[in-house]
Each structure stands twice: as structure tokens, then as C-alpha cells.
Structure 1
Amino acid sequence: MRSVVRPLVSVSTYRRWTFLLGGTALLVPYLLIYAALASVTDSYRQQPARSVFESVTMLLAFVVISSAVAFVPAVRVLCRTAAETLLGVPLPEETAEGLRSWRSRRRTAVWWLLHIGFGGMTGFTVVVGVPAIIYLLEAPFTGHDLGRRLLGRPLPFEPWLSVTLALAALPAIIYLGAAVGAVFARLAPVLLGPSPADRLARLERQTEQLMERNRLARELHDSVGHALTVTTLQAAAAARLLDTDPDFARRALTAIEETGRTALEDLDHVLGLLREDASARTPQRTLADLDGLFDQTRSAGVGVDADIGRIEEIPPVVSREAYRIVQEGLTNALLHAGKVRVTVRLAVRGSRLELEMTNPAGVAPPGPPRTGGGRGLRGIRERVTILGGRMSAGADDGCWRVSVALPVVPWTGEPAGDRSDGGNDGIQRAGV
């Protein structure tokens, strides 16, 4: 019973009727144009009857004239707004290219013709039906003999019959508008929504934006996060030893200044990427800058032993990502193991750059417990995956070990870690 009564009392029904009456208002000027064309052709036509060809030609002319305005992109915007507001249909956002495409314009023309055609004719039922209902309701009181006027003979129970017809016609008109409005609500996403090609282009743009945000987040996490971790530990140590060992406190403050200056350069680089300002971008650090990174880490009380192979011929993109991976590994050691000794081994073996970082499981630095962690290893894994490499991380015989293998040749789709290339270019002791 509710489903029967709901269209009569629903606000959406009357909004959709407003949409249909809008089609009626749009149809009237076109009918006037069509009547003017018909009168002009009739004045030049000598035959009293209109041929089938002329009728079809007039109908095609009416369709062309009616749909021509729909090829203006602004009309599509108006149609979408009317569908969302009056039909209650949420439509996905459409790009400017989608609005201007000829595929969208053709679909708008179809929607426009349906609106002024079926919607407009449905709206005429209100224009004609409401006065007829009023006439039927007042007939018993005005003495109008509807039977004689319509059928030429009186009808039994005519006063009650006219009232019954009036009361039945009103909900019928409402149901008609609800049904036609529901059909238009179903057609709106198909004709006014973005095309499949436009949806695909939008998804590609969203994917590119998401990848760029993730890349910038990794840059901030690895560079600025490492600097903040080092300076926090150095500041804490300097505060504890300020009175007993002022020379150490002075060295710690100097290291904090240098680390902060480096962090500002990295932050300026990331902000330059956000602003797309080429002049504000600083060169990214590579494996050639590892000595400075090790010095910063060592100044925070963490010993670093490094075995570094020849890195001059490593491609720049691999060198940059490998530097960030080492940086993040050292940051994790500072945060989760405390002042322990970290061993870093890096070598090129065949077509792979192999990187291994190990540190004994220590005691985390004092302070409040960290929340929201876990981004470090995830950032390393994302960098490795983008380059087509392999990574493993976990506890190993009382130590924490991170192993990474990155291809140093163009990636063909096979992860570099799956290939077993022999040979070693010789590992030279770095002595740090």
C-alpha cells in the first residue's frame, strides 16, 4: 500500500513534474517554428494534400532545428544541472574535454529531443487535464449536462460520475508524471554522464595524482623524517651532557645545524615539485652522498660500518632510490633499535645492485611510544617495486636485516631478484 501511495506524497514526484513542465515550456517555441514553416510551405504548395515526402521532410526539419541548440556545450551543463536538481540523479563530474566532445554533444541532442518530446507532451496533460478536472468538479453545481454535450444523450448518475472522473483523473496525472520522470532518471546517467573514454581518462589522471602524492610523501618521510630523528636524538644527548661535557654538546649542536640545513634543502626540493617550480628544485642526493649521510647518523651515536662497491656507473634513478632506501634503513635503526652499530653492504653483481643493512636488536630510545609507524618499510617496498626489484626485511638470528636487489639495466617486467647472475666487480672497503 505504501508503494501505491508514495508517488502521490513524495516530493521527488513533484520535482520531476517540474522537469517535465520545463520540457513543455521548451516545446512551445519549437511548435510555433514548425507551424510557421508549415504555413510557408503550404502557401507555395499547389496540391491540397500534403505528400508523405513533404511530411517526412517537415519532421526531419523539426528534429534538426530542435536538436541544434543541444550541440552547444553550455546546454549540456544546464541539462546536467536540471537532471541532478529536479530528477534527483547524482551525475559524476565530467571533464571539460568530455563536455566539448562530439560524442557528448550527440548524447545531449538525444536527451534534449526526449525532454521536449516525451517530457513536453507529458506536461501537456497538466495543461489540458487540470482545467478539465476543475470543469468536472464544478459541473454538478453549474448544471452542465456533460452526457448530452459529449455523447448526445444524458448519463445516469451524471453529477456523481463527473466528480468520480475528476477524482480519478488527478492521481492518474500524478502517476503519469512519476512514471515518465523515473524513466528520465534512468536515462540521465547514460546520456548525461561521462562517457567510458572520459571515465578512463579521469581514472588515469587520479592514478597519476595518487602516484605523485605517494612519491612526495616518500621523499618527505625519508629525507625530513631522517633529519628530524637525528636532530631529536642529538638534542636530547646535548641536553643531558651540557654541564658535564660541553665540548660534546657543542659538537652535537653543530651537527644539528648541518642536519637542519640539509633537511631544508630536501624540503625545498619537495616543495619545488609541489609548485612545479623548476628553479626551486635542488638536485636529489645519490649514492655519492652516502658519506654525509653516514656522518649524520654517526653524530647521533649510531656506528656505521659500510662496504661500498663501485657506484659510479649505476643509473641515476637507481642511485637516487638506493640512497633513500639506505637513509630510511638508518632512520629505522635509530628509532627502533637505539644506538647500535649498523652494517651497510652495497655492491653491483652482474645486472643487480645488491644492498644489505643489518643491525642487532637493541633497545628503542626513551620517550613516549610511537604511533602511526610502519611507513618506512612500506616506502622502501614501494621504491623497490617501482624499479622492478626485490626486497626482504625481518629478524634474522638476533639481528634485523633488510635486503634489497635493484636492476641496474632497463627493467623488462621480470624482477631483478629472480635472476641469478654470477660475478662480482670487487668490493672495496670504505673504512667508515
Structure 2
Amino acid sequence: MITGAGAGRHMDAGTGTGTGTESSRSTENGRDTGPGRRAVAAMFGRQARLRWVHLVLGGALLMPYWLLSTVVLGSLDPQKGPLLQVLLYFAALATSLPMAAATALVPTVRALEGAAALALCAPARAGEVVTGPARSWAARRRTAGWFVLHLAFGGIVSGMTLAGTPFAVMLILRPSGFEELTRFWEDHGVPGPLPGPVLGLALLALIVGTSAGLGGLLARWAPVLLGPTPDERLTAAERRATVLAQRNRLARELHDSVGHALSAVGIQASAAARVLRTDPEFTAEALAAIEETARGAVAELDAVLGLLREEERGEAATAGPTLAGLDDLLRQLARTGVTVDAELAPGLDRLPPGFSREAYRIVQEGLTNVLRHAGPAPARLRVSLAEEWVGIELTNPLDRLRPGRPGGGRGLRGIGERAAALRGDCEAGPTDDGTMWRLAVRLPVGTGGEQW
């Protein structure tokens, strides 16, 4: 048994007091990382360039819808002037977005858009962007909203890039060509227009700023529109909880079944090695016990691996020894030198199999702790059955001179988890006089046992 209370280990965390000022934080490896540099990076950095590519991709995806709308709207009035032509283009943009939203309801669109957003848009919470198909209408509606934003922003940036950039370059490189535009402004009462190079640079800055701003908005909205819906988050949380519960259960099974067998085999092998030459008869008996223990461990290991493989879940969930097999466990312990004074209530063999199996594991782990921590010391086991409760009480002498296991064990934690899963309670610790270790578990038969 565990011979003393586990001392909690405290790790002193460094509380490094940052003494650097804002000016010192704005310098890294001799380079200025202040607001000015961050603004330049936001406009022209690698992330800004990737987001521009993402927006241009959105503009390219918009083109089929826009051309279809242009053809349909243009056929309504073939005779139109320049102003109506411009209005037609904007009307085509407005009518093309609903068509894009309708096609975005296809489940695979979220997978494609999510992958593109992760690769190019660089969202702040990239881990929340889903790259799988939309499996619910809520997810499809969110994807449609994202697709419309992507195509609308992409159309704006693509149009400004394709039309505005050549015009800005012309204004910068050919100021003389600006005279006609100056006369146009003067004829319409626009006083004092800016020089061509200045206006060209301002137009380029507007294009770059629009691309950076719209790209940042898309990056901010990506986790919201391409992220999991509340139902998907709940499903993922339930799935993770199920996986963790299965892992914890598997860990308990391996610890209790295989761990008990290895402890018994280790003690039996050690005893056989000590009397190998002087008592061949005892050695042969110990080796036979080791063989029997190993065979039982292999059988239990197969049952535990059945849980891991999820094969024949109904049988695997109830496979393994029950309280009716405590006599075999006590006989096995007697071969290791542990004498157990057992008092077992009648009727234990009539308990539900799943419940009885978990109670058996609790007894097995308690006796294994006696074997590991108290050695060949006498122990007293009492299993009582009263109305709707099963009581387990195990006591053994407390050996304070015997060292504990390095790093502590997980036996008591596993016992507590099993008891909690069965809606029971567990107490473990030294008795008041400090001479005995006592483990007491109380389990309700009618609740929790059927799930096992």
C-alpha cells in the first residue's frame, strides 16, 4: 500500500519582471519594429501580398457570374450610352453575388475556400478555419456569406488593380498626358487639380490601402464564417470527451490488470532466484505460479485490446474477472507471500457483470498496492453486500521504512475514478493511530453499473 501521503511538487515559475520600455520593445536585433515599420509591413509585407493574391483569386471567381449578369442585363436595352454602360456594370455586380451565394451552398465549397484562406488569407485564428465540407445548412449559409464577401472584395480590388494601376503609372511617367484631364476638370469647375505624379502616387496608395484593408477584414471574418458552427463545436467536444474517456479507461485497465500481473511475477521471480539452489521445490512452484500469472495476464490483455480495437464491444465491455473470482486472486497473492484474511459476503456472484467487474478491479488494485508498497505483509479484506450497496474495506500494516515508487503511482487515482464512475465514494489513508493503511470504497449497485 502507499505508505505516506504524496507530497505535492511545486515548480517555481519565473516571474521575469519586464523592465524594457515601449521604445526598447520597438527595437529587435537593431531593427525598428515600431508603428511605422508595422504599417509598411501591413501594406507591402508578405502577408499583405498573399492577401492581395487571395483577393485577386476572388475577382477571378467573380468573373463568370459577372459576365452572365452583364449579358442578361445588356440584352434588356442594347442602346445605351457611357453612363448607362457604367451603371450596367455595377448592376451586374449586384446581381452576380446572389448567384455566387447560391452555388456556395454546395458542401465542398467550404473545403476549397477554407484551404485557400489558410494558404493565402492568413487568418488570425487559423486553427478555427475548417477545411472540410459543410455538413449542415448553418455551415452552408456561413460559407455562402464568406463566398460573397470574398468575391465582392476581390472584384473591387481586381478592378482597381487592373484599371487603376496602369492609369496611375501613366500619370507618374507621362505628366504631359495630364493636360487633357486638367482641361476636363477646369471645364467642370474643379479648381487647382493636383499634379499628375502626385495624383498617380495617391491612386497607387489608395489601391494598396484598399487591398490591405479588405484583406484584413477577410482575415478577421474567416474564423467566423469558415469556422465550425456551434453544433459542430459541440459534436467535436463530445467526440473528444468520448475519446478521452476511452483512453482513461484503457489506461486503468492496463494499469490494474497487467500491472498487477507484473508485480506478482516480479516478486515471485525474486523469491525463486533467492532459493534457486537451496529449495528447488519452492523454485518450481514459483515458476509454475509465474506461468499461471502470465497466462492470465495475456488473457486480460486480449480483453483490454478488444476495447482499443472496438471489436465486439458488447462482449469486451463485460469481459474479465468479477467478484466471483476473488478466490483465485487471493490464492495468487498467497504464492507471493501476502496473506489476506478475507471476509466475502454471500451473493457476490449475483451482481451485474459490468458492476462486479469494476468492483473486482478496485479490489485487485488495492491488493496490488499492498504487494508493491507493504511487501509480504498480512492484509485484511472485507467485501460486504447490504441492500443496494457494496462495501470494500482493505487494511494492511503501514511500513514507513519501505520506500515508495519513484514518481508515485496511479493506483489510488484509478480506484477513485472507478468509484466515481459508479457514483460511489472512496477513502484512503492511514488510520488514526498511524499503524495501518485503510482503503474504503462504497458502491451503489443500482446506479452506474449497467453502463459498464
Q: TM-score range by the shorter chain?
A: 0.7 to 0.9
Gaps of 5+ in 2: 1-34
DSSP 3-state at the match of 1:401: strand
Q: Which residue of 2 aligns with 1:295?
A: 331
Q: RCO higher in 1 or 2 (8 Å CA, sep ≥ 6)? A: 2
User: Is 1:381–2:411 an aligned residue pair?
Assistant: no
User: What amino acid does structure 2 have at the position aligned with 1:297?
Assistant: L
What does residue 380 of structure 2 align with? Answer: 343
Q: CA deviation at 1:194?
A: 0.6
1:20 and 1:123 in contact (8 A); partners too: yes
Equivalent residue, structure 2, for 1:40: 75
2:393 match: secondary structure: strand
Corresponding residue for 1:237?
271
Q: 1:25 aligns with which of 43, 47, 60?
A: 60
Distance in 1 of aligned mates of 2:319 and 2:190: 96
Is the aligned partner of 1:313 residue 2:350?
yes
Tell me which residue corresponds to 1:194. Answer: 228
Match of 1:267 among 301, 312, 315: 301
Pick closer, same or farther for the CA change 1:143–1:314 going to 2, 3 Å. Answer: closer
Q: CA deviation at 1:209?
A: 0.7
Contact 1:392 1:403 in 2 (8 A): yes
2:344 partner amino acid: I
CA distance, structure 2, for counterparts of residue 370 and residue 81 of structure 1: 50
CA distance in 2, matches of 1:173, 1:196: 37
Relative to structure 1, the CA distance from residue 207 to residue 143 in structure 2 (aligned partners, 3 Å threshold; closer, same or farther) is closer
Q: CA deviation at 1:272?
A: 1.3
Aligned counterpart for 2:104 among listed residues 45, 70, 85: 70
Cα separation, 1, equivalents of 2:229 and 2:300: 42
Provide the alpha-carbon RMSD of the alignment: 3.0
Q: Is the 8 A contact 1:286 1:320 kept in 2?
A: yes
Q: Which residues of structure 1 form unaligned runs of 5+?
A: 413-432
Aligned residues: 399
Aligned to 2:340: 304
- Note the 1:26-425 alignment, pairs <5 A: 26-42=61-77, 62-89=96-123, 90-92=126-128, 94=130, 99-140=134-175, 144-152=178-186, 161-278=195-312, 281=316, 283-310=319-346, 311-362=348-399, 370-396=405-431, 397=433, 398-410=435-447
Rounded to whole Å, the distance in 1 between the matches of 2:382 and 2:135 is 57
The structure-2 alpha-carbon separation of the partners of 1:6 and 1:57, relative to structure 1 and needing over 3 Å to count, comes to closer
Query: What is aligned with 1:10?
Result: 45
In the alignment, the residues of structure 1 paired with residue 166 and residue 56 of structure 2 have an alpha-carbon distance, to the nearest angstrom, of: 16
Instruction: Evaluate the alpha carbon distance shift between residue 145 and residue 57 of structure 1 in structure 2; reply closer, same or farther with a 3 A threshold.
Output: closer
With structure 2 as the length reference, what TM-score do the two structures score?
0.81
What amino acid is the match of 1:236? S
Cα shift at 1:151: 2.2
Q: Find the residue that maps to 2:349 and give its secondary structure.
A: coil
Contact kept, 8 Å, 1:335 with 1:364, in 2: the verdict is no
Q: Which amino acid aligns with 1:326?
A: V
The 3 A distance-change label for structure 1 pair 379 and 92 is same
Query: Which range moved further: 402-411 or 189-198?
Result: 402-411
User: Could you tell which deviates more after superposition, 30-39 or 213-222?
Assistant: 30-39
- Cα deviation for residue 374 of structure 1 reads 2.6
- TM-score, structure 1 normalization: 0.85
Matched to 1:218, the amino acid is R
Q: Equivalent residue of 1:145, what SS? A: helix
Mean CA deviation greater in 278-287 or 227-236? 278-287
